[in-house]
Amino acid sequence: MKEINKEMCPNCNIEGMDVDKSTVRSLLKDEFKNSVEGNNYRICIDSDCDVVYYDQKTGEKYIKDQISVPIWFKKDASPKYACYCSKVTELEVIDAVLFHEAKTVADVNKITGAMKDADCKNNNPLGSCCHHIIQDIIDRYLNENKEL
């Protein structure tokens, strides 16, 4: 009998990342909150997979339509939030970099209001701070526009 890898998404078989149960519960639509039973949740990081959260031990899985916010790295997410707590989108971060000369996360925060009212564990689908998400966007657009 083949052993199930508890790290892999049951839908796409890509390794997910650990997420706290309280994050899962806080981001599910109300009608699904009471079904949360597991303690070993992971988030599927494959952009094409409809599964967002899963617990291999209990067999639970929650898809994009069951989540109350769009998952920024999933295909067709709209809007694509960079900071869920302050509702700052990826486009607002890009605008801050391209048109307001933001070069750091602190610059972006000042321009957009990102990270102002942080409750990342309950608002961000990863259950962690968005600092690295914002930094990745800054790096991507600064590097793309070096030659301009």
CATH number at residue 62: 2.20.25
Q: List, for residues 83-123, the tens digit of each pLDDT value.
A: 999 999 999 999 999 999 999 999 999 999 999 989 999 99
Per-residue pLDDT band at 148 (split at 50, 70, 90): very low
Query: What span, in angstroms and rounded, lies between the C-alpha atoms of 145 and 74?
Result: 25
Same domain flag for 85 and 61: no
The parent domain of residue 125 ranges over 81-144
Same domain flag for 56 and 106: no
Q: List, for residues 11-67, the tens digit of each pLDDT value.
A: 999 999 999 999 999 999 999 999 999 999 999 999 999 999 999 999 999 999 999
Alpha helices per DSSP H over the chain: 21-27, 90-100, 105-112, 120-123, 131-144
Query: What span, in angstroms and rounded, lies between the C-alpha atoms of 42 and 100?
Result: 37
Position 2 in a domain: no
Position 133 in a domain: yes
